[in-house]
Amino acid sequence: MKLPIYQVDAFASEPFEGNPAAVCPLDEWLPDDLMQNIAMENNLSETAFFVEQDGNYRLRWFTPTTEVDLCGHATLASAHVLFEHLNYDQQIIRFDSNSGELKVRKEGDRLVMNFPAAELNRTESPEFLEEAVGIPAKELYRDTDYLYVIESEEQVRNLDPDIRAMAKADVRGIIVTAPGQDYDFVSRFFAPNAGVDEDPVTGSAHTMLTPYWSKRLGKKKLVGRQVSRRGGTVYCHYKENRVEIAGEACTIMKGQFKI
């Protein structure tokens, strides 16, 4: 069997920036264990699979070790493949996912995703988490991830966390964030429980970052920068129970997966 596969740098305007994702368009679903093995073989933070269903698309995402319920950058990459390579000619793509309906529209060079906003549940920091991050939290919130707020961009950039200790957290990942100097906010994202020590640019993390920074800064439209080694810029718009997350994408590889 030969499957088409694309590798796309999401939240990037040129190659070698942003977050790489693999995208596999399918005519019908493969067995779950086979999709998981393909994701493991790709060894990227996410591999997306989608199947057309009644004019929309069912979308699923796999890390090298597990299936996840929401992934922003691989959704962006999937929409990019549909628009740029598979002749999708409508303005809006509707994806059905484990997190409900996700819409992506094209606006110039950017793709705009519409996701449900995460909840901001204030909580106390477990002792192991502060030791793992290495800096005390000014504020901590919990939903699918921890949102770990610290004081400065310099602290976020210079973090050298204990990744193995972070894996003790019973959440998907830890978002560490602070006010930005040239952006509204900066962040980094660590998800060892999902097989990703540090994710370069994490669209889904911005469903939590956006409502927090919107309320703190008193503005609905924000620009965030994920300051991983690759780095990426995310354009955010808070709409109460929804978050629009926008960025660019570029294809760096196209081929066939032989199984």
3-state secondary structure the chain: CEEEEEEEEECCCCCCCCEEEEEEEECCCCCHHHHHHHHHHHCCCCEEEEEEECCEEEEEEECCCCEECCCHHHHHHHHHHHHHHCCCCCCEEEEEECCEEEEEEEECCEEEEEEECCCCEECCCCHHHHHHHCCCCCEEEECCCEEEECCCHHHHHHCCCCHHHHCCCCCCCEEEEEECCCCCEEEEEEEHHHCEEEECCCCCCHHHHHHHHHHHHCCCEEEEEECCCCCEEEEEEEECCEEEEEECEEEEEEEEEEC
Active-site residue, 46 included: yes
Nearest residue to 191 via CA among 45, 10, 9, 77: 45
Please pick, among 14, 17, 28, 46, the residue that the annotation labels catalytic: 46
C-alpha span between 6 and 257 (Å, rounded) = 10
Which two tokens mark 195?
């097989």
What positions carry a catalytic annotation?
Answer: 46
